[in-house]
């Protein structure tokens, strides 16, 4: 379900490489396949020739039931499901992409898969979906990534830093900048974990956190992005978000708190090697995306200018 953006692009390739027959279910509004940065023409042609397409709206329940049963699918990967009502008609063997954002904020970290979740989370649809899976009797697995990064990332994580570094601008980071978080590369961690779940009895009816095994501070991310892109040491400006009214604009790409999760369970059950160096991953993302002049969102320095303006006045 999905498969034409970011996570699905890398997952579908890994599935094809593993010898699986892959069908992408989409509304058909975007190209079914696209060539990945760094992928040769021959590799892309071979991949495209092995992928099938099923067009429809996932809310057209009768169509989905008929289509899936007629085609004899064994497993459904749901990459873009947000609500339980979107999942109920296609349950059989189900591998679901959830989010670590469902955890209830806590003073005790890292988050484990057994930790309390927040029913008021903006991702509550993900929680309701898992609740449905747990009572359905089907074979399911739920994957909870923390922050995902990598080429073609539509969530401006590393891109936010790259825009400022390229423009030779200071990087505004909230509060002390020592907030600890965690990033996982889309191809090396997330897509690999999805593959490792398939046919693994240990993964049946289980939840797994997925991300890099090392934690990093906000300031550390800024410095790592600078190294990845070959930029000078960045000038980092710390500010108090309470001093500003950003008018609902997002001034920083991460939640302003410590936020990281244990990946020990995934490493043990799935055999996913989680020791991928953050700098190498960011370099891969930069070289195969931003350095080529491609990005998802244009640079917007509106909130930066508000922060820098106040800092200049204070000085």
What does the pLDDT look like over 162-214, one tens digit per residue? 999 999 999 999 999 999 999 999 988 899 999 999 889 999 999 999 999 89
Instruction: List the one residue out of 189, 173, 168, 264 whose CA is nearest residue 221.
Output: 173
Between strands 147-149 and 171-174, the pairing is unpaired
pLDDT band at residue 5 under the 50/70/90 scheme: confident
Strand 216-217 vs strand 180-181: parallel, antiparallel, or unpaired?
antiparallel
What are 115-128's pLDDT values in tens digits?
999 988 888 888 88
d(CA 215, CA 156): 19
User: What are the residues facing 95 on neighbouring strands?
Assistant: 77, 141
On the 0-12 / 13-18 / 19+ scale of CB atoms within 10 A, 210 is buried
Residue 183 in tokens: 């990033």
Please say whether the dihedral angle defined by the alpha carbons of residues 47, 52, 54 and 58, taken in this order, is positive or negative: negative
The pLDDT tens digits of the residues spanning 35-45 come to 888 889 999 99
Tokens of 8: 């699905």
């Amino acid at each position: 379900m999905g498969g034409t953006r970011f996570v699905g692009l890398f997952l579908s390739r890994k599935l094809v490489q593993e010898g699986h027959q892959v069908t992408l279910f989409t509304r058909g509004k975007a190209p079914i396949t696209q060539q990945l940065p760094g992928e040769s023409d021959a590799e892309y042609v071979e991949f495209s020739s092995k992928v099938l397409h099923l067009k429809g709206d996932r809310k057209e329940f009768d169509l989905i039931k008929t289509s899936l049963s007629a085609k004899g699918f064994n497993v459904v990967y749901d990459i873009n499901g947000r609500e339980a009502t979107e999942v109920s008609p296609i349950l059989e063997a189900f591998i679901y992409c959830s989010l670590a954002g469902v955890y209830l904020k806590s003073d005790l970290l890292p988050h484990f898969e057994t930790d309390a979740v927040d029913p008021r989370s903006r991702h509550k649809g993900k929680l309701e979906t898992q609740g449905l899976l747990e009572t359905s009797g089907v074979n399911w697995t739920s994957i909870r990534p923390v922050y995902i990064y990598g080429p073609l990332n539509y969530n401006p994580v590393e891109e936010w830093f790259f825009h400022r570094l390229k423009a030779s601008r200071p990087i505004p980071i909230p509060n002390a900048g020592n907030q600890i978080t965690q990033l996982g590369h889309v191809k090396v961690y997330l897509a690999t974990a999805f593959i490792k779940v398939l046919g693994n009895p240990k993964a049946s009816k289980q939840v797994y956190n997925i991300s890099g095994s090392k934690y990093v501070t906000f300031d550390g991310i800024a410095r790592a992005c600078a190294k990845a892109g070959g930029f000078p040491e960045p000038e980092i400006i710390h500010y108090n978000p309470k001093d500003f009214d950003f008018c609902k604009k997002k001034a920083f790409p991460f939640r302003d708190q410590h936020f990281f999760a244990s990946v020990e369970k995934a490493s043990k059950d799935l055999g996913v090697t989680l020791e991928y160096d953050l700098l190498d991953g960011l370099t891969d993302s930069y070289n195969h995306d931003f350095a080529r002049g491609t990005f998802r969102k244009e640079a917007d320095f509106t909130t930066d200018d508000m922060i820098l303006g106040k800092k200049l006045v204070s000085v």
